[in-house]
Copies of this chain bind each other. A is one copy, B any other.
Amino acid sequence: MAEISSDVIRGYNDIIILYLLLSKPSYGYEISKEIKTLSEGKYIIKETTLYSAFTRMEKNGFIESFVDEDMAGGKKRTYYRITETGREHYRSKREEWTLTKEVIEKFIADEGALV
């Protein structure tokens, strides 16, 4: 299975995480599983990347954290919910994606040009 390198995905982790928070709050472990599932195993986010993205995005006001105190066994779990600012950020990143895609495709040669 081909994998995606970090430099290529860089700049999209925000959009990926925010997408999963659009519908419901979630937490690190769950999000990492969902990224794996939704990408059909093609992208597996590193734990450190994910958790540092949470910290960064909370600082930027894109997400808010809250701790689930009621978990059976008293285990801590930090949830994140997307803010309105986060939704706006998602929208603008989505537009930027469209643009970026168009630009990059101009630099993709078809097989013939590669010989």
Footprint of B on A, CB under 8 Å? 2, 4-5, 7-12, 15-16, 19-20, 22-23, 38-39, 42-43, 87, 90-91, 94-97, 99-104, 106-109, 113-114
Contact = CB atoms under 8 A, between A and B. Distances in A.
Query: Chain A's interface: helix, strand, loop or mixed, by majority?
Result: helix
A82 B95 CA distance: 33
Given A4-B99, A11-B10, A87 B114 contact: yes
Contacts of A95: 2
Contacts of A7: 10-11
Contacts of A12: 8, 104, 107
Given A96-B2, A99-B2, A114-B91, A104 B10 contact: no
